[in-house]
Amino acid sequence: MQSKKVHEKLGREKLHRIIETCKSVEERSLDPFLLNVSENISTVKEYFPEWKIPEDLCLDAETLHHIASVVKLQSEWVKHRSTSLYTDPFLLEEKLRRMEKEEIARTFLEAWHPLIEWEQISLHSLSEAIRYWNSLVPLNERWKEKPPTEVGSGLATREELVRERILRDKAFSEELESFWHELRNVVAEKGKNGKIRYWDFIGAESYGETVDRAFMTSFLITYGYATLEIYPLEEEMFVVPYEKPVVKTSQKQLVSIPISVSAGDWQKWRRGELA
Amino acid sequence: MSKRKATYASKLKRATHMLFFKRHTKPGVKGWELRKALGSDYPKVLRIVDDYLKALDLEVKTVFEEGKQVEKPTLEQLDKARFYVALRGGLVPKEAKMIGWRIDDFAGLAMAIGYIISKKGKASREDVEELLRNKLPGWKVGLNVDRYIRYGYLTEDEGGQLYLDWRTRAEVDQKALIDLLLGAETQT
């Protein structure tokens, strides 16, 4: 057992070494033929039956990937050597070191065909520039420091806070009760079998109001004033009001149901495309 | 003037404007832009422009994607290629001075390009700078390499490796440069 573990450890170390060698060939542009591919493949093969856990299998795959990259570099190296551009880098480097810089520059000029490009303003862009210039506010006006605006403190009335939607008009429980009564009335008027389609209840004239109604409906359901009936196959959802608020016991696992009330859904409902 | 001639005369003008005036950050124009402006016979229009430019020692240069050399390009390859106007012949050192570069700058660029070509198109900036330090003052080497990068002759990746960039592919006859560098040595 001990020797198996040692064998596996040794295998991992060998694979890491292969990866490091491949990486240095890839990153430092070393001669890719420095790597003995067949020998490394044999090492990978030798240890492959030992690998059981995903980490080891990933290491094996990574090693193969790096060996494949070096093989690709070898292929490119052969291709480059066969092209007319191939020059022994040491030979060229040596020649560049020995040549005078004037000579190098002269040589370069023979192989250099600079591009010609013109940059010239046109009448159109000139008139655009003048128009922009004329409409530009002078710097001293643009950078003028504005005096800090004075903010006076004062008292806000309750009505103002309600108008700003910081406070609600009624206490939340009161509001929830009246919303429950509204649900029961709507179900009595428009509903069928004591229930109403979810969107027909929450849908309102504006999207904001619809979201507000969906928010209140979620509390009706959470606090036991109503329940949801969902028919996934028919993609239908109903709100069913209770006659009396039901106190939910913890015998049954309570579930949360996310319902999307997006602006797109609201528009669809308005067009009668959403149940 | 016949209608056909008039059409071509107008296409020639349009092609010349597009080729000469820099419209994007890089000079030149893509094949598909020429096709859109001149029609599918734009290669023919370019050939005529090239004929006119010959007398001025200029040429319409085609640079294919990734700097590949293509003998008989397809329309698709031409659409993806970039077309420039370049000097047809070479410059003499006296003329080169008009460009605003010193002889050192040309020598440094030639060394960097030659070295990168010999290293299969990729060399570490460290190695290139070390080579340039042989001929240029140390303080100038880094600045010059940055300048070559800024002008589009070289490009650098995050790992500090230098590659040849679009301007080298467009302006430098790489094979001729290597042959000349190797040939020049034998003469000394």
Q: Cα separation of A117 and A194, whole Å?
A: 80
| Secondary structure (H, E, C), chain B | CCHHHHHHHHHHHHHHHHHHECCCCCCCEEHHHHHHHHCCCHHHHHHHHHHHHHCCCEEEEEECHHHCCCCCCCHHHHHHCEEEEEECCCCCHHHHHHHCCCHHHHHHHHHHHHHHHHCCCEEEHHHHHHHHCCCCCHHHHHHHHHHHHHHCCEEECCCCEEEECHHHHHHECHHHHHHHHHHHHHHC
Best of A75, A102, A112 to mutate (most B CBs within 10 Å, chain B): A112
> What is the spatial distance between Cα B157 and Cα B168, in angstroms, rounded to a whole number?
17
Higher per-residue pLDDT: A63 or B93 = A63
**Local confidence band at B129 (pLDDT 50, 70, 90 cut-offs):** very high
Question: Which regions in chain A score pLDDT beneath 70?
Answer: 1-2, 28-29, 80-86, 145, 147, 150, 167-170, 248-254, 275
Task: Report chain B residues whose CB lies below 8 A from the CB of A108.
Answer: 106-107, 109-110, 113, 172, 177
Per-residue pLDDT reduced to its tens digit, A115-154? 988 777 778 778 888 888 888 888 877 777 676 776 777 7
Q: Rounded to a whole number, what is the distance in Å from the CA of B144 to chain A's nearest CA?
A: 14
- Could you report the per-residue pLDDT of B6-63, keeping only the tens digit for each? 888 899 999 998 998 877 778 889 999 999 999 999 999 999 999 999 999 999 999 9
Give B120 or A19, the one with higher predicted confidence. Answer: A19
* pLDDT (0 to 100) of residue B187: 45
Q: Residue A260, Cα to own-chain centre: how many angstroms?
A: 21
Read off the pLDDT band of B144 (50, 70, 90): very high
Predicted local confidence at residue B188, as pLDDT: 41
User: In this model, does residue B186 exceed pLDDT 60?
Assistant: no
Q: Which residues of A touch B92 (CB under 8 A)?
A: 109
CA R_g for chain A: 39
The pLDDT, as a whole number, for residue A258 is: 83
Best mutation target among A113, A119, A120 (most B Cβ atoms within 10 Å) is A113
Q: What is the mean pLDDT of residues B165-180?
A: 89
Distance from CA of B48 to the nearest CA of A (A): 18
Measure in Å the smallest separation between the Cα of B100 and chain A Cα atoms.
13
Q: Which residues on adjacent β-strands are paired with residue A240? A: A227
CA distance B2 to chain A (A): 31
Q: What is the pLDDT of residue A84?
A: 59
Give kind and range of the element (H or E) at residue A231. Answer: strand A226-231
Q: What is the pLDDT of residue A118?
A: 78
ipTM more than 0.90? no
* pTM attached to this predicted model: 0.53
CB contacts, 8 Å: A77 with chain B: 120
Query: Which residues in chain B touch residue A96, judged by CB atoms under 8 angstroms apart?
Result: 111, 114-115, 131, 181
Nearest CB to B184: which of A27, A87, A103?
A103
- Contact list in A for residue B22 (CB cut-off 8 A) is 117-119
Q: Which residues of A touch B (CB under 8 A)?
A: 27-29, 76-77, 80, 84-85, 87-89, 91-93, 95-99, 101-120
Pick the residue from chain A with its C-alpha nearest to B114: A92
Report the residue of chain A nearest B101, measured CA to CA: A105
Neighboring chain B residues of A116 at a CB cutoff of 8 Å: 20, 58, 84-87
